[in-house]
A and B are shown apart, each in its own frame.
Chain A
Amino acid sequence: MAEPAEKTPLESIPLAEPATALPVADAGIEAGVQALTPRTIADTVRRVLGAETGARLKAYLSTCTHCGLCAQACHFYLSNAHDPSYAPIGKIKHTLWELLKRKGQVSPEFIRQASLIAYTQCNMCRRCAIYCPLGIDVAYMISVVRRICRALGVTPLYLQDTVNSHSATHNQMWVKADEWVDTLQWQEEDARDEIPELRIPLEKEGADIMYSIIAPEPKFQAGLIYKAAVIMHVAGVDWTMPARPGWDNSDMAMYSGDYDIMGRIKRFHFDTAARLRVKKIVMGECGHAFRSVYDTGNRWLGWRMPPIETQHAIDFYYDLLTSGRIKVARKYEEPVTLHDPCNIVRGYGLHEKARYVVNALCEHFVEMTPNREYNYCCGAGGGVINCGPPYKQTRMRGNSVKARQLEATGVKVLIAPCHNCHSGLEDISQHYHLGLEVKFLADIMYEVMEK
């Protein structure tokens, strides 16, 4: 698709584009489909539905009245000419319902389509659950489809690569064990240039807090570790980071449907905290990792709630600011707006705390509309951005509604306290020529705090 040559004014960002299927070549999906036989499909569908689903799925399926109210919630639907096949219920109809109705007697081609829908046309953001009068969690049903596709080996290649990395290295980005420690040492040395007595304490048993992050930080954004270390140091927190694997809290296996790997890496993460005998885990600004730690991963392992207290960065910053451990020297002056990440807002209710933090750090906060639990998804979450370049256009076309929402704020600095959102929103800003500067809360806190 040709990109617009110059900046697109607000009116010309199409709210609805014609719904044409984008041709995609995905070696992972192709290879998986090639290996399918009707028998393996039927067996696998039966096995997954029989062994791993129960009352929850039954309740959702039997209560849905096909009212279609969920359609208005979905950014894919809103951005794709209100094409009903993009409505949440439409996606279920083209995947799970068919599988049930035909008792798994479907063609490999059907599985290919189901895989594309489940992995790349739904961010599992759960906005539709807010709109459903019966509270049906469509994202859960999509995750069942993904689980089936994964069990059949039909997964997008890029997503599978990150899962392979999780499995082999216990982190998402193939970060080697020595690279991890090197990165921490590197950032510590850099930070000591600014604060000579600063340390990044490694393997400190009995510390109050274990700070865990996602692998893209050491790999691409090492500066965030620096900033976190400065915040911890200034706040006088007794903290530590693991020197051995277990430091990565991210979880793409949750999104690919590889629940065995999901369980393994979550347990490893909790085990690491237990090994260090910390009081709680504080996680960096990442949304999906939080979903995995307090909702999906822990429950797969049989813990209703995380076995060790786990706090998201927003919550942690809120504590630091309200208790006066971090003081603001001079508020950030440029107007800012805030993107509510689905996993920690719809999923966990951190929106008011996020607003407290933003207002404490920034002079001018402009709300985007809709906001809080009604915010539109960034389009990157749910593992969709991790499905890689083949699907970038799907993401961009599928989220013009987000571009409009962002542009309407008239603000140039956008705070996104989630890594996935961060990347997704940068793509949107670039694609729709919005010229936004996307920041983490830590970026701003580091800039304005008393040091």
Chain B
Amino acid sequence: MFNSILFATTASPTCDDAAKVAFDLAKKYNAALHVFHVFGIPTRGASPFVTDVRTGEQETLDDDYMAWVKEEMKSTYAARMEGVNKAQIDCTVGAPATEILRKAWKEDVDLIVMGAHTRQDDVGAYRYRQIAGSTMQRVARGSRCPVLIVSRPCNTCFWYFNNIVFGADFTKASTAAFKFAYQTAKHIGSKLYLFHAIDLSEMRFGQTAGQEDIEQRITEARRQMEERYLSQMKEFDNFDVEVWEGIPHVEILKFAREKNADLIIMAHHTREVDPEKALLGSTVEQVVLRSACPVVSVNRLDKIQSGDVPLVQASKTETVP
């Protein structure tokens, strides 16, 4: 399912939850794992110094320091590293989001794993999206491959996922997200919930949606579900379709809780200019911050193996016709 995974880490305990998932995934799929850390720099320009993530002190950036940090990362993740065959530890200096995307492009990875918070005291806080995990947002928007965001301890490992929720919004990016959701569910053998929330928050002042109007839109959404997604699924019937109405991120979270979801998969819009089309764009960020389970953000098709082609590692262990 995955050949190459990029785990972007702050190399601090805030990323431990994400680390567990990243290393587990690499083990499970025998994927190459790139453990990658970007030094923040204390200025907008180039800098001879970096801020050490653990001590918060200023360090001179040179080969010695780089080697020392890599060594530290190696010992931090030594226990997790066992059983991972192709792990590579790397670090660089620069703007974190840009460097993570650059690395993902360079190594041609098919999944990025990262935490949502950069600071430990942010955990659990209901921060607004300007503040929380701005690196995560930028990466999720710019990435060509799915981005798995882990902000809470994930106790079920990736292959134990039982209930996957796919939050649909009928855009091109959403089709990519669907493909990923479908393949993951099929591969793992878990239940897939296709979910859409009619957005009522957009109602203008003084205008409330009549029941008839809402029902009409629900019918339309179900038709779209059928046309866009259900028709794509072959030999897979372990799914359910639901359409609710309300504020999308709230509805998705409610739905996920009700279904005991352990993975949410959504589209994240990069360059959709028309905001109406990109309904879920900011919703992903809201969901990530509040979700109890990991969230995968997908915005493009090109790194998702297409159709019913046997999934890479699966072909060896499972029966694929």
Contact = CB atoms under 8 A, between A and B. Distances in A.
Contact of A172 (B46, B142, B302): B46
Contact of B45 (A182, A186, A194, A216): A216
Contacts of B302: 193
Interface in A353-411: 385-386, 388-389
B95 interface: yes
B45 A158 contact: yes
A131 to B, nearest CB: 30
Contacts of A223: 142
Nearest to A447: B273
Contact of B94 (A158, A162, A219, A385): A219
Nearest to B104: A186
Nearest to B42: A389
A423 B95 contact: no
Contacts of A216: 44-45
A380 to B, nearest CB: 9
Interface string B269-310: 001010000000000000000000000000010100000000
B300 A386 contact: no
Contacts of B271: 194
A221 interface: yes
B98 A221 contact: yes
Nearest to A424: B44
Contact of B43 (A158, A172, A190): A158
Most chain A CB within a 10 A radius of its CB, from B43, B46, B273, B302: B46
A173 B45 contact: yes
Interface string A288-321: 0000000000000000000000000000000000
Nearest to B94: A219
A194 B144 CA distance: 12
A44 interface: no
Nearest to B46: A173
Nearest to A157: B48
A161 interface: yes
A336 B105 CA distance: 35
Nearest to B51: A389
Nearest to B141: A223
A172 B94 CA distance: 14
B102 A183 contact: yes
Contacts of A194: 271
B47 interface: yes
A348 interface: no
Contacts of A388: 42-43, 45, 47
Contacts of A165: 46
Nearest to A448: B273
Contact of B47 (A158, A182, A222): A158
B98 A161 contact: no
A193 B47 contact: no
B106 interface: yes
Contacts of A162: 45-46
Given A182-B106, A193-B302, A220 B94 contact: yes
Given A216-B45, A220-B95, A389-B42, A189 B105 contact: yes
B159 to A, nearest CB: 30
Nearest to B138: A223
B44 A385 contact: yes
B47 A220 contact: no
Nearest to B48: A161
A174 interface: yes
Contact of A161 (B44, B47, B300): B47
A173 B99 CA distance: 14
A193 B144 contact: yes
A183 B105 CA distance: 9
A189 B108 CA distance: 12
Contacts of B300: 193
A183 B102 CA distance: 8
A185 B157 CA distance: 36
Most chain B CB within a 10 A radius of its CB, from A190, A194, A216: A190
A193 B301 CA distance: 10
A194 B102 CA distance: 18
A216 B47 CA distance: 12
B105 A389 contact: no
A389 B273 CA distance: 36
Given A193-B302, A220-B94, A186 B105 contact: yes
A222 B44 contact: no
A414 B46 CA distance: 25
Contacts of A173: 45-46
A174 B48 CA distance: 11
Interface in A120-165: 157-158, 161-162, 165
A415 to B, nearest CB: 18
Contacts of A157: 48
B48 A222 contact: no
A158 B102 contact: no
Interface string A190-208: 1001100000000000000
A215 B102 CA distance: 15
A388 B42 CA distance: 8
Contact of A386 (B45, B102, B106): B45
18 contacts: A161-B46, A161-B47, A161-B48, A165-B46, A182-B105, A186-B102, A186-B105, A186-B106, A189-B105, A190-B142, A193-B300, A215-B46, A219-B98, A220-B44, A220-B95, A388-B45, A389-B43, A423-B44
Interface of A: 157-158, 161-162, 165, 172-174, 182-183, 186, 189-190, 193-194, 215-216, 219-223, 385-386, 388-389, 423, 447
Would you list the 10 A-B pairs with minimal beta carbon distance, nearest first? A220-B95, A186-B105, A173-B46, A423-B44, A161-B48, A389-B42, A388-B43, A386-B45, A389-B43, A162-B46
